[in-house]
Amino acid sequence: MAFYVTTPIYYVNAEPHLGHAYTTIAADVVARHMRQRGEDVFFLTGTDEHGEPVAQVAEREGVSPRELADRNVVHFKQMVERLDCTNDFFIRTTDPEHEQAVREFMQGIYDRGHIYEGIYEGWYCPYCADFKTEQELLPGNCCPIHKIVIEKVREENWFFRLSAFQGELERLYAERPDWVEPRIRYNEALSFIKGGLEDVSVSRPKLQWGVRVPWDERQVFYVWFDALLNYYTALQYGPGKDVRATFWPPALQLIGKDILKFHAVIWPAMLMANEVELPRRLFIHGYLLMQGEKMSKTLGNVLDPFQVIDVYGVDALRYYCFREVSFGQDGSVSTEGFEARYNTELANEYGNLASRTLAMIERYRDGVVPQAELPEELGAEFDGLAGAVERHLDGVELTLALEEIWSRGVRRLNRYVEQQAPWKLAKDPAQARQLDRVLYGLAEGIRVVSVLLNPYMPTASSRLLAALGQQGGESLALENASLGSVPGGSRVGKLEPLFPKVEAVEAA
């Protein structure tokens, strides 16, 4: 089955921070997991390059918006690469193919009579690229998100008849209660819709930096209309040919809660207006916080993912994001918390477990995994573990899946080593068969957890699998993630520490 997964496209008005890395890694975990299940995956990420957020910073820095975009997109592409993400395409909204496809799509909405000319007046935050209601403003007419003073603007532009889709949107929410998850976001979006929808402007008369409105060349499209369409246009040209027939609609769209309204209200209405099938599901995650505030380039309290990767490696970062903060909710990250999990969970519980197991197979069985029966004691936790992980990831519960692998797999194996004490069994020739069983059980155990952990920590898990003689695509297949699906007899290789001790990274 085809599985299309997307991340938001990030503004190129600054360099990426951990918040951007977060959604991108989450999508990659799901993409890798789905490939383990044999799905035909298309994974899209990219950058949002038009509109005021980019034009304003460019002006402040004295460069053209295109120069700014060209300069910053490099960092986002580098981020994706250094995060070990397996995206199938990286879209830039300045791609000429995207711009042309946006014009065609919007012309379609116009031709169907859902766009008209009007006058708009309202409080406008250029960082949000969005209007705020009087009630939303903080004292002193400040944007509630960016805390800057914003102004009332009045302009003539083109409007999308969002109000006309009120009924159809309410029906969508009634018929498909899992179309927006988690539930709290579904409720939030639905109550926004029920509060009454107003038409929204789709164009900007004052701005030059954007996609030209085909029926009114004086104006450019409001950046959000251009941006949302990336999910659709990318399939028209990204892989070098049009793959909409295979991959549309998206199976999963991941976003942060800051952009819920655009994705859960305006986006489906745009698709309805052009009679295009809706995405199957949106999953909305919370904020990564630093010192209690949303990590944000505007507020300046950001953690640099590159710096963390330099010191601890990318797997540790990928792991930490979903272990520390329950996916879906807000949660704090810190360098202290990171170091603690690195040392206790990654270096000790997983890394040492792997090294010890391989060392014992080397020492007691000349480096060959014994051919033995599986120890029944491990069955209780391991039976059905892969199925549980699958179910959690079907629900985009990245933290629950990881928790399950850790408690039922990694920690169970650590207890098992202590209980069985293979170093004692090795001293007693009468216990040889039991030692075979224990070592085989451990080898299978670390293999199974590595297959399950692979979407989260692709490098470390693959290195461990390779040391167990497991290489190539089949070794990662989820159907092999059960104890005993690989027989003993293979020769183990050398394994450098998976998570070596490192000097503490300086606080950001």
Among 50, 92, 294, 365, binds ligand ME8 (CB under 6 A): 294
> x-or-dash pattern for ligand ME8, window 239-268, by CB under 6 A?
----------------xx-xx---------
* Using rule CB under 6 A, residue 22 touches ligand ME8: yes
* Using rule CB under 6 A, residue 287 touches ligand ME8: yes
Nearest approach, Cβ of residue 272 and ligand ME8 (Å): 17
Residue number of the CB closest to ligand ME8 reads 19
* Using rule CB under 6 A, residue 228 touches ligand ME8: yes
115: nearest Cα among 157, 161, 155, 156 = 161
User: Which among 16-24, 103-111, 201-209, 422-430 is the span making contact with ligand ME8, rule CB under 6 A?
Assistant: 16-24
Q: Which one, 85 or 353, has the nearer CB to ligand ME8?
A: 85
Nearest approach, Cβ of residue 24 and ligand ME8 (Å): 8
> In this structure, what token pair is assigned to residue 474?
């089949």
Q: Which one, 39 or 258, has the nearer CB to ligand ME8?
A: 258
* Using rule CB under 6 A, residue 222 touches ligand ME8: no
The single-letter code of the amino acid at 105 is: F
Give the β-pairing of 2-11 and 89-92: unpaired
Q: CB-based contacts of 182: which residues, under 8 Å, 6+ apart?
A: 283, 284, 328
* Using rule CB under 6 A, residue 236 touches ligand ME8: no
Strand residue runs (E) in 164-301: 180-181, 200-201, 203-204, 212-213, 216-221, 252-256, 282-285, 288-290, 293-294
If phi over 0 gives left and psi between -120 and 50 gives alpha, with beta otherwise, what is residue 396?
A: left
Among 91, 150, 162, 227, binds ligand ME8 (CB under 6 A): 227
Phi and psi at residue 90, to the nearest 5°: -120, 110
Nearest approach, Cβ of residue 315 and ligand ME8 (Å): 20
What span, in angstroms and rounded, lies between the C-alpha atoms of 244 and 233? 9
Nearest approach, Cβ of residue 205 and ligand ME8 (Å): 21
What span, in angstroms and rounded, lies between the C-alpha atoms of 378 and 70? 54
* Using rule CB under 6 A, residue 445 touches ligand ME8: no
* b/e map 189-213, b = 16+ CB within 10 Å: bbeebeeebebbbbbbeebebbbbb
* Using rule CB under 6 A, residue 288 touches ligand ME8: yes
**Cβ atoms of 404 and 323 closer than 8 Å:** no
Q: Which one, 307 or 343, has the nearer CB to ligand ME8?
A: 307
Q: Cite the DSSP H helix spans in 112-242.
A: 166-175, 183-194, 223-228, 230-237
> In this structure, what token pair is assigned to residue 154?
């009045």
Nearest approach, Cβ of residue 277 and ligand ME8 (Å): 18
**Cβ atoms of 30 and 252 closer than 8 Å:** yes
Catalytic residues: 17, 20, 125, 128, 143, 146, 294, 297
Residues touching ligand ME8, count (CB under 6 A): 21
- Helix (H) / strand (E) element for 119: namely strand 115-125
Residue 80: exposure state from Cβ atoms within 10 A (0-12, 13-18, ≥19): buried
Nearest approach, Cβ of residue 22 and ligand ME8 (Å): 5
Nearest approach, Cβ of residue 76 and ligand ME8 (Å): 9
Q: Which one, 286 or 488, has the nearer CB to ligand ME8?
A: 286
* Using rule CB under 6 A, residue 328 touches ligand ME8: no
Q: Which one, 46 or 488, has the nearer CB to ligand ME8?
A: 46
* Using rule CB under 6 A, residue 11 touches ligand ME8: yes
Q: Is the peptide bond before 249 cis (omega within 30 degrees of 0)?
A: yes
**Cβ atoms of 448 and 409 closer than 8 Å:** yes
* Using rule CB under 6 A, residue 281 touches ligand ME8: no
* Using rule CB under 6 A, residue 210 touches ligand ME8: no
223: nearest Cα among 202, 242, 250 = 202
Q: Which one, 197 or 295, has the nearer CB to ligand ME8?
A: 295
User: Which among 19-27, 146-154, 399-407, 444-452 is the span making contact with ligand ME8, rule CB under 6 A?
Assistant: 19-27
Nearest approach, Cβ of residue 352 and ligand ME8 (Å): 32
DSSP code of residue 222: -
The CA dihedral of 342, 43, 465, 338, to the nearest 10 degrees, is 0
Q: Which one, 173 or 225, has the nearer CB to ligand ME8?
A: 225
Nearest approach, Cβ of residue 430 and ligand ME8 (Å): 57
* Using rule CB under 6 A, residue 50 touches ligand ME8: no
SS3 196: coil
* Using rule CB under 6 A, residue 19 touches ligand ME8: yes
Binding site for ligand ME8 (CB under 6 A): 8-11, 19-20, 22-23, 48, 227-228, 230, 255-256, 258-259, 287-288, 294-296
